[in-house]
Chain A
Amino acid sequence: QKEVEQDPGPLSVPEGAIVSLNCTYSNSAFQYFMWYRQYSRKGPELLMYTYSSGNKEDGRFTAQVDKSSKYISLFIRDSQPSDSATYLCAMNRGSNYKLTFGKGTLLTVNP
């Protein structure tokens, strides 16, 4: 079983939709959880960074962590065509440990 599982999609939604992206993980030692956005032919960029369980909101983006279920989510409200990208979840055991990434979900937001 992979440490981090992420549905690769592709996911296609109309503009303005609420998007839900998810990852599950198996290593209970993971403490820090991140979401990266990667546009085609570009490097990943950090979107959200959360520690432990709970919700974190930043503009149209909300990150949710449920450590009891080993499940993390990223919600995008009022999705825009510019949100079309691959979204990667990542996590680690602490700030001194390497990141373990999901394989990414390809999202397309149609105008």
Chain B
Amino acid sequence: DSGVTQTPKHLITATGQRVTLRCSPRSGDLSVYWYQQSLDQGLQFLIQYYNGEERAKGNILERFSAQQFPDLHSELNLSSLELGDSALYFCASSPRQGESAEAFFGQGTRLTVV
């Protein structure tokens, strides 16, 4: 168990809908990273937050947004969902601002858009 908790584990929703994925980082970790994993694209970095502030942005669509709350948990919001958004979404956390290599991954949320 990595100590990173993601909910829900599975999510099935219809096109056009909006969903929220939640991540609780390991105790004491200030950085949270979100990744998307699909069969054709592999694991893609979406966005990073450090202590409540956005620190880095990757291949995140405008329909997607994220935030990190004062208690350090993070939420990834996906809106106007399309079939192609079906993927595994991982959250990872690390204790420091920039050392992403030391990040610990959660178990992921499997999103299926039908």
Minimum distance in angstroms from B91 CB to a CB of chain A: 9
Residues of B contacting A43 in the complex (Cβ-Cβ under 8 angstroms): 2, 4, 90, 92, 105-108
When the two chains form the complex, which single residue of B43, B104, B107 contacts A101, counting CB atoms closer than 8 Å?
B43
Q: How many residues belonging to A are interface residues under a CB distance threshold of 8 Å?
A: 23
User: Is B42's CB within 8 Å of the partner chain A?
Assistant: yes
Which candidate, A9-17, A61-69, A91-99, is the interface stretch facing chain B? A91-99
Do A99 and B101 have beta carbons less than 8 Å apart? yes
Does B64 touch A at the CB level, under 8 Å?
no
- Inter-chain contact B43/A44, CB cutoff 8 Å: yes
8 Å CB contacts to B: which residues of A43-95? 43-46, 49, 88, 90, 92, 94-95
Interface residues on B, range: 20 to 34
Contacts of A88 in B (CB 8 A): 42-43
- Tell me which residues from 24 to 47 in chain A have a Cβ below 8 Å from any Cβ of chain B: 32, 34, 41-46
Map CB proximity to A onto B23-48 as digits: 1 under 8 Å, 0 otherwise.
00000000000000000011111001
A residues with a Cβ closer than 8 A to B are 32, 34, 41-46, 49, 88, 90, 92, 94-104
